[in-house]
């Protein structure tokens, strides 16, 4: 399939996003992250909104700048939220989670223990497991990021991130850009996505896989693996 950055290709379940008008002038994936900044400035920063309707379990979270946290959202101890940030209803923020500025979490999202989410947009039901990093990324409805995953979001030379596929290059409009994960797509534990990676709906990236570029919909992606076993002398370890 030809490389695509159309939101219609990656995100058909836009009904699972809390603001229907958000996509009125948005057509490309990278425009979502730009819109998140302007939207949250208008929705939270300018009116100075600081509202937490969630349920705090353990010590109260550290809340900075502007934020909105919806009803039914459970916030465990040692969570840090640096606004502007919008967190919908019935989300789950596990211990030690960090939410950084310009993040939108739709309803029923989850951020695992010790994970960091920076300038991300999650559609409804998207989840990131424990000890993972999602930066400048977009997760479609019910998309999943496994434990220990790193979404690399900047090139070594700090240049503009471009999506590359079979010789074709497309600018993504910023020097910070992580991953686009389509509806119900999954990234397995301890995988790494290179800056600008686009993964189509229903595709699975198997654990320990390093991916880049454009992955079309309904693919299973993994590295060929061979497990080697060989005899070894018994060694008693020191107590």
Q: Which residues pair with 50 in a beta bridge?
A: 67
pLDDT at 159: 82
pLDDT band at 157 (very low <50, low <70, confident <90, very high): confident
Domain of residue 212, CATH code: 2.160.10.10
**For residue range 53-106, what is the model confidence (pLDDT) as tens digits?**
999 998 889 999 999 999 999 999 999 999 999 999 999 999 999 999 999 999
pLDDT at 230: 95
pLDDT at 168 over 90: no
Residue 2 lies in a domain: no
pLDDT at 239: 87
Share of the chain above pLDDT 90, in %: 84
β-strands 186-187, 62-64 pairing: unpaired
pTM for the model stands at 0.93
pLDDT band at 158 (very low <50, low <70, confident <90, very high): confident
Residue 229 lies in a domain: no
238 vs 134, more confident? 134
Q: Which domain holds residue 124?
A: 7-221
* Ramachandran angles phi, psi of 136, nearest 5°: 50, 50
β-strands 50-52, 210-211 pairing: unpaired
Residue 171 lies in a domain: yes
**For residue range 4-27, what is the model confidence (pLDDT) as tens digits?**
999 999 999 999 999 989 999 999
Residue 231 lies in a domain: no
* Ramachandran angles phi, psi of 67, nearest 5°: -160, 160
Residue 26 lies in a domain: yes
Q: Name the strands in the sheet holding 138-139, side by side, starting at the edge strand that comes first in the sequence.
A: 50-52, 67-69, 85-87, 103-105, 121-122, 138-139, 179-181, 197-199, 214-215
Residue 138 lies in a domain: yes
Angle, alpha carbons 225-128-9 (nearest 5°): 80
168 vs 47, more confident? 47
pLDDT at 163: 84
pLDDT band at 31 (very low <50, low <70, confident <90, very high): very high
Residue 239 lies in a domain: no
Determine the Cα–Cα distance for residues 126 and 144; give it in Å rounded to an integer. 6
Average pLDDT over the chain, rounded to an integer: 95
pLDDT at 151: 98
pLDDT at 108: 99
pLDDT at 58: 86
Residue 228 lies in a domain: no
Report the domain count for the chain. Answer: 1
Determine the Cα–Cα distance for residues 163 and 78; give it in Å rounded to an integer. 36
Q: Provide mean pLDDT across the span 206-233.
A: 94
């Amino acid at each position: 399939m030809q490389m695509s950055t159309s939101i219609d290709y990656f995100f058909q379940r836009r009904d699972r996003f809390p603001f229907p008008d958000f996509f009125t002038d948005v057509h490309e994936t990278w425009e979502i992250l730009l819109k998140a900044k302007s939207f949250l400035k208008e929705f939270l920063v300018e009116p100075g909104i600081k509202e937490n309707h969630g349920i705090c379990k353990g010590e109260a979270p550290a809340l900075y700048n502007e934020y909105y946290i919806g009803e039914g959202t459970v916030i465990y101890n040692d969570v840090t939220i640096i606004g502007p940030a919008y967190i919908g209803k019935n989300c789950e923020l596990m211990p030690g989670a960090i939410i950084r500025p310009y993040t939108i979490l739709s309803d029923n999202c989850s951020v695992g223990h010790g994970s960091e989410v920076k300038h991300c947009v999650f559609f409804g039901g998207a989840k990131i497991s424990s000890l993972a990093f999602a930066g400048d990324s977009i997760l479609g409805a019910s998309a999943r990021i496994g434990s220990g995953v790193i979404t690399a979001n900047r090139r070594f030379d700090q240049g503009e991130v471009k999506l590359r596929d079979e010789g074709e290059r497309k600018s993504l409009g910023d020097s910070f850009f992580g991953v686009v994960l389509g509806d119900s797509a999954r990234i397995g534990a301890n995988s790494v996505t290179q800056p600008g990676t686009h993964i189509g709906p229903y595709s699975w990236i198997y654990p320990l896989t390093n991916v880049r570029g454009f992955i079309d919909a309904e693919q299973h992606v993994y590295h060929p693996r061979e497990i080697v076993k060989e005899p070894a002398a018994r060694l008693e370890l020191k107590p």
